[in-house]
Structure 1
């Protein structure tokens, strides 16, 4: 496609008309903003023609690389039939087939699929389902939610209410509904062993359940890795214990797999690491391979049947979105899942994750790296003033942002989580490509922290 505008013209239009998300516009507009023109494989190309590794898979959602011919064809083939018709009171072929496919690959307890357009919306739906489930079961007092401190579940009001990152959420405090929160186990900041950290966290959770179970509709968490909270990897055994406590105290378990799902952690879903069976699971991001906004909330037949009744019972689930179950999105999602099987993508992630782990050992030895966190291709590198004392940088210095900006100069795009530099590449990334990406990040850390 011929470029119709110069970089300077596009930048001026960006300044005049566009408000970028999660972006301080003053800083962005002063710093040679990146404007992407196209993508090929795991590379992005800007309007100046420069190539970059897509080190965060375009916000953690690209699975097979950009401009993939199979996914492109799936969309154009569906476009020849119909682009969209509503799912409210009717259905369509791709939405039905994708629902069947999702039920087939998720934990056995999950038997019904409700579509939406984003991960945050999928979370909102899960919360509403859990809330109304208990009402229709004759226990309306079970209306509150329990979540983890430092968690992130999206940016809509319900998702923010169960979130736990003050930097993102505190400004909206007066808009939010009340929730209960407990600590997520984080051995790196715990004065003791991993086992002691897990024990303390589980004890706090059990005490909260003993105190509040009669009021709690559900517990929501990010299984195995807290993503936006800093790529905090859950200690082994904790997730299984959480499931057992939810069953013991009759509280629904909601797992947010928007970031962790579809192979990112080395399993199709993070729940599989400890073989848990959630009551509700939320999905998004890589569901369409990074092509179109489709998300899903999966739930059990038991929850579905609480809403199943005669019209006059008024148990209809009054929730929906204009593009819910969009045919183009569902068609490319089906093609995306075909590619997972045909290319044995989960096995590939497991193999290249070992390559990444080997390369990251050198990064972990840098004097200003406190901890390297990894599960599959979900990687976070925490920057600190001193790796021995674990003293953090003053957040106002923006060290994570500076390192990511330097990495961009060196040919890799990613975003920081405060002072945690993330690497969330496309799942098809090869071993040599990962080696090069990690080498860029290592060089960027050295140049910024030792300047």
Structure 2
């Protein structure tokens, strides 16, 4: 039966970033609980990815499950146009308690990419007034903001997974990627490329968009908090809205509730998603200052021109509200600190390995950047044989485990990574 299902999958179901003709192998999951994914053969593997950064409390969390059961008996979905419900109100109230006071107008989306689309639309509508020709965005190279078309237009067109669309998407401005890492001593030369664009192009720049501190799929680089602080200062000087993309980094992943807190700044527009519901449902939000919201509402056509069918989904809002309540207990802070401490102690040994270019660890994120491209098919099988789920990309092996992992789980991750790096067959030369 399992083979029949996998054969059907291979023939008919298209997976992310893969081919329908020659797809990568998939591993059949029967169930999940805590940090474990249970395969159809009964084997349990420890999830090192939190289902792409989202399942921060692990799987089948009893309080999150109970929340969904409570809400589904009332209403699982209603349209948000002209209607409102308690889960949306309660969630937005909760969000305002963990966000800066300036961020007070919330647009509930259904995915992270859509949150970016909405943020970019907001900026363009903000400048939709006589006397302004602001229609371009400024960001930094090697960024990643999602897979929809506006989102990919601010992903690096030459060095990201979206190079295929480089001739189709709008041409925006890309400053050099920051060179100084999170733990380096700050030097002002690092902001020069960004500064030059701001000085020369500020009359055309509608908005700035950045991933805060951690650049995700663009290479998992961690840049210096002062860089983000300088970007905020320049946006203030030239009156350009700053969009911060916290979709991956939000809700504790870097050791702060939001990564922009490392730089002690506040964005004008904030995008959140992924861990917003604890990895149970798809939900995101674009949160904006009253100043920008009011200006959009004054400009033609006097409203925000976006309305996803499943925005403000009651079921997702209800479980997201419970997720934030769990985070407010603050146990995540100690959990993330312990993860960071252990991984720094054990993984940094690999920094001198001839196959390893760099090791970067911040909060509950660990990155092993290799010199050579990784054979994803072989290394995936290798990791599963070690009882762990780690999904590398390009030349990057990385961990973003659920916060509830224990030391013995982390030990298994480290052991698997050490042995993988030693294995020539897992790399392309």
**Category of TM-score, reference length = shorter chain:** over 0.9
What's the counterpart of residue 353 of structure 1?
A: 340
**1:404 to 1:363, Cα distance in 2 relative to 1, 3 A:** farther
What's the counterpart of residue 388 of structure 1?
A: none
What's the counterpart of residue 356 of structure 2?
A: 369
2:415 to 439, 445, 448: 439
Count, aligned residues: 425
**1:295 to 1:139, Cα distance in 2 relative to 1, 3 A:** farther
- SS of the residue corresponding to residue 336 of structure 2 reads helix
Instruction: Please say which of residues 423-432 and 144-153 is displaced more in the overlay.
Output: 423-432
Are residue 126 (structure 1) and residue 126 (structure 2) matched? no
Are residue 113 (structure 1) and residue 106 (structure 2) matched? yes
1:380 to 367, 370, 387: 367
Alignment of 1:34-433 (within 5 A): 34-136=27-129, 138-164=130-156, 166=158, 167-187=160-180, 194-195=184-185, 198-309=187-298, 314-342=301-329, 344-384=331-371, 393=372, 395=373, 398-399=374-375, 402-433=378-409
What's the counterpart of residue 3 of structure 1?
A: none
CA distance in 2, matches of 1:237, 1:162: 22
CA deviation profile, 1:14-46 (whole Å, cap 9, x unmatched)? 0222011112345535x4x31211101011111
CA distance in 1, matches of 2:80, 2:48: 35
CA distance in 1, matches of 2:404, 2:283: 21
CA distance in 1, matches of 2:381, 2:248: 23
Structure 1 residues without counterparts, runs of 5 or longer: 1-5, 385-392
**1:323 to 1:139, Cα distance in 2 relative to 1, 3 A:** farther
**8 A contact 2:378–2:426 mirrored in 1:** no
- SS of the residue corresponding to residue 32 of structure 2 reads strand
CA distance in 2, matches of 1:420, 1:290: 23
CA distance in 1, matches of 2:322, 2:131: 42
- SS of the residue corresponding to residue 220 of structure 1 reads strand
**1:185 to 1:293, Cα distance in 2 relative to 1, 3 A:** same
- SS of the residue corresponding to residue 184 of structure 1 reads coil
Instruction: Please say which of residues 38-47 and 165-174 is displaced more in the overlay.
Output: 165-174
Return the offset for 1:301.
Answer: 0.5
1:12 to 7, 11, 16: 7
**1:401 to 1:253, Cα distance in 2 relative to 1, 3 A:** farther
**8 A contact 1:399–1:419 mirrored in 2:** no
CA distance in 1, matches of 2:233, 2:70: 45
TM-score (norm 2): 0.94
**Greater per-residue helix proportion:** 1
Return the offset for 1:426.
Answer: 0.8
**8 A contact 2:420–2:426 mirrored in 1:** no
**8 A contact 2:2–2:40 mirrored in 1:** yes
